[in-house]
Structure formats: structure tokens, C-alpha cells
Amino acid sequence: MIEFIHFAASKAVGESIQKPLLYYENNLAPLIYILQELKEKLVVNFIFSSFCTVYGVAEPMSITKMASIQPAVLLYGNTKQIGEEIIKLVAKVSSLNAVLLRYFNPIGSHPSLEIGELPLGVPQNIIPYIM
């Protein structure tokens, strides 16, 4: 059995607005390549790091796992929606067991600062502004 976790994606709002094709390519092409490699394997457990932006502007704002997907407001959310759809379709026709994790404002870094956020210059997330 193969287990695979996919966490990679670009997520800066400003950059995604300026470079939309780069974002679609970077956030979707690697996912497709990974799934192509995994589709022939006997059993694959696949975890996809998605995001709460797949809910769009949700009503009510108290979102549960039963909330419906709405059109994404930002390009990053759209790439996550498309990625989830690709994974669901592949899972229907292969031995892929997929889990889609939809995070809400993941922040922070390891105390060593070796992994995670280390905002230098203009922050790309809200938490550095709040802090």
C-alpha cells in the first residue's frame, strides 16, 4: 500500500492576481502528475491539503463539514476546488482512497524556523498583521 500526502501549492493572493496562469500551473499540474503516477498502484491512500476557500462566501458563516461548495472568490480557492474535483474523479475510476483536508487559517512555524511560515518583508497572510 502506498500512502501519499500532498501539501504543495502557491497561496499568495496578490501574486495569484498578477500571475494567474502560474498559479493554475503550479497548483494543478503537479497534482495531475502525481495522480498519473499513482493510478496504476494497487491501493493508494492520498491526503490532499485543501483549504476553506472551497466554501466560497458561505451562508451561514458557521461552516460545518456538510456545507456546500460555492464558487471560490479567489484564484487560490479555485485551484483547490479544481484539485478536489480531479481527485474525486480519479478516485471513482481507480484504487485511490482520498481524504480532502480543508484547513481554516493554518499559521505558524516550527520553533526552529526550519519549516513553516517566516514572513519577511510584506506578509502574505493575515496573522502577521494581527500580531
Active site residues: 76
Q: Assign 100 to helix, strand or coil.
A: strand
* Backbone dihedral angles phi then psi of residue 39, each to the nearest 5 degrees: -65, -25
**Residue 129 grid cell:** 498583521
- CA neighbor of 48 nearest in space, from 93, 85, 73: 85
Which helix or strand (DSSP H or E) is residue 91 part of?
Answer: helix 75-92
